Amino acid sequence: MLGEPRGDRLIVREAIYYDELEPAAYSSGVCILHAPAFARLWSICRERRLSVVADVHTHPGAAFQSWSDRDNPMVARQGHIAIIVPNYANKPVNMQRLGIFEYVGDHAWIDRSPTRTPDFLLITRWI
């Protein structure tokens, strides 16, 4: 998710999909991005004057944070948000069951999921 800070909030403006950055991202069965994919991502961010504010991925069941998620943040920068959608994002997606985790550094995270921090994520649409 690409966006920008606005006060104490992060505003998402666009989405970039992993396979847009690296066509074989899912070929192993899990998402893997190599250095050239990140170089492309940073280039896109510079062009659009946005930054990566969150990543989103799915899990087959509940939206828990796996050991791999904890140990391998997509963006290892304090304040980065990782959103996990349960049940491979099959409809209907219950927003209250999302896993939302904020990276605080040194492979440590704060659980910001709706059941723990109900006002952390605001989804709205400007028309």
Residues 6+ apart with CB under 8 A from 118: none
> For residue 11, what are its two tokens?
């505003």
Asked if residues 120 and 100 have their Cβ atoms less than 8 Å apart, the reply is yes
Mean pLDDT by 10 residues, the chain (127 residues): 88 92 87 91 96 93 91 90 94 93 94 91 71
| % the chain with pLDDT above 70 | 98
Mode of pairing for the β-strands spanning 9-14 and 2-6: antiparallel
Q: What is the pLDDT of residue 127?
A: 43
Domain boundaries, the chain: 1-51, 53-127
Q: What is the pLDDT of residue 126?
A: 63
Q: Which 8-state DSSP code applies to residue 117?
A: -
